[in-house]
C-alpha cells in the first residue's frame, strides 16, 4: 500500500516505514504529523485517485529530526565590471517516518 501526498509544494510517494524529507514543518522530534492532502492511495485491490484529493484519506508520520539540506553556492557576477558576490543557502528540512496510511 502506498500513497501520494502533497506538502511544501511538492508531491511525495510514501508507504508505511518510509523515511521522507519534506520542507520544514512545525513540531519537534517525536511529534506526529497528519497529512490530509492525499492525492492518491493504492492498495492491493484498487487505486483511488482524488479530484483533487481523496476524501477521508490520511497519512500519519512521526518527526525524526529537524535538519538542513546540503549547502548550495549562489554566485552572481557581472562581466567586465569587477562585481562578484558569492552566498550560500541551506534549506531547512523535516525528516519523518511514515507510520500509517488510512482510508
Give the confidence band of 103 by pLDDT, cuts at 50, 70, 90.
confident
Compute how many other C-beta atoms are within 10 angstroms of the C-beta atom of residue 98: 22
Our count of domains for the chain comes to 1
Mean pLDDT of 64-87: 97
Among the listed residues 22, 32, 34, the one whose alpha carbon sits nearest the alpha carbon of residue 92:
22
pTM: 0.83
Q: Give me the DSSP letters along 73-90.
A: EEEEEETTTTEEEEEEE-
Range of the domain at 42: 2-102
Give the confidence band of 20 by pLDDT, cuts at 50, 70, 90.
very high
d(CA 101, CA 9): 20
pLDDT tens profile 29-41: 999 999 999 999 9
Sign of CA dihedral 23, 31, 38, 95: positive
pLDDT tens profile 80-92: 999 999 999 999 9
Amino acid at each position: 500500500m502506498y500513497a501520494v501526498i502533497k506538502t511544501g509544494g511538492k508531491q511525495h510517494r510514501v508507504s508505511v516505514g518510509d523515511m521522507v524529507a519534506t520542507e520544514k514543518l512545525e513540531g519537534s522530534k517525536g511529534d506526529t504529523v497528519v497529512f490530509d492532502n492525499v492525492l492518491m492511495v493504492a492498495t492491493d485491490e484498487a487505486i483511488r485517485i482524488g479530484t483533487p484529493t481523496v476524501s477521508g484519506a490520511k497519512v500519519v508520520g512521526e518527526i525524526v529530526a529537524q535538519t538542513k539540506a546540503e549547502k548550495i553556492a549562489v554566485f552572481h557576477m557581472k562581466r567586465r565590471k569587477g562585481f562578484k558576490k558569492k552566498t550560500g543557502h541551506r534549506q531547512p528540512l523535516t525528516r519523518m517516518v511514515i507510520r500509517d496510511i488510512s482510508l
